[in-house]
Amino acid sequence: MGVIHFHKYQGTGNDFVMIDDRLRHFEGENTPLIGQLCHRRFGIGADGVILLRNHPDYQFEMVYFNPDGSQSLCGNGSRCALHFANQLGMAATSSQFLAVDGPHHGFIKGDMIHIKMPNVAVIEHPDEAYFVNTGSPHYVKIVSEVDQVNVVSEGSAIRYSAAYEPAGTNVNFVEVQGDHLKVRTYERGVENETLSCGTGVTAVALALSAQGFSSPIPLHTSGGKLMVSFRSNEKGEFEEVYLIGPAKEVFKGTYQY
């Protein structure tokens, strides 16, 4: 029998099992264990598992697993990871850390965690929707009433469509509500709607800049409010992209398996 010491975090309702793995005890290749930890009936319950590890060139390394064991960049998870690393004394309020897609910068200002996201050179607009890669692939569709969308049914159909084989894509539905955007997301790897998706709202903000929205853009998710700031260069590429929002420790404990 094994024992895992964990901290449970949430960032606008996107929740994570956070593990201090500086001693490298966690079995990262144990996909069933990851799924078990994330299970909301038989485990702790989460949208993903995040390990914090030491790294010789950065203040910390964040290793993120979806419930199915796959790895990807997670924007909200990165905000929670920076907060947790700061609490552990691994990171200062302004830090460089490593994620699956490469290095990132983040800083804490009051209650808000600012995470620098990857630069985006291309936003595809093949049909009525947009496609943006913000460290994870995202399909962005503008709808008139986002609360009426069957996110799981419509999202999974797009996620598994031939156009995005073999890896699939995350799917975002967005409604323009005055000066802000309301977003609902179907997440690949979770295979369900989540209350919030950091890389998703980042993709939505950059895509909707083509509709006249300028930085910083406020976005409302089912789990709370986020902000995305950015600037575009002379080539129309997006730089200095920051995802901004809160991160909170909910509880901590031990899990036996």
Q: Buried b / exposed e across 145-158, counting CB within 10 Å, b at 16+?
A: ebeebebeeebbeb
Asked if 197 is an active-site residue, the reply is: yes
SS3 state of residue 139: strand
CB atoms within 10 A of CB 77: 29
Contact by Cβ (8 Å): 246, 112: yes
Q: Which is nearest to 247 in space by CA: 119, 106, 132?
A: 106
Catalytic residue selected from 18, 74, 146, 174: 74
CA distance readout (Å), 206 to 1, 109, 188, 230: 47, 23, 20, 8
Helical spans, DSSP H, in the chain: 31-38, 75-88, 151-159, 198-208
How many C-alpha atoms does 162 have within 13 Å on its Cβ side?
A: 0
Catalytic residue selected from 49, 140, 151, 197: 197
Active site residues: 74, 197
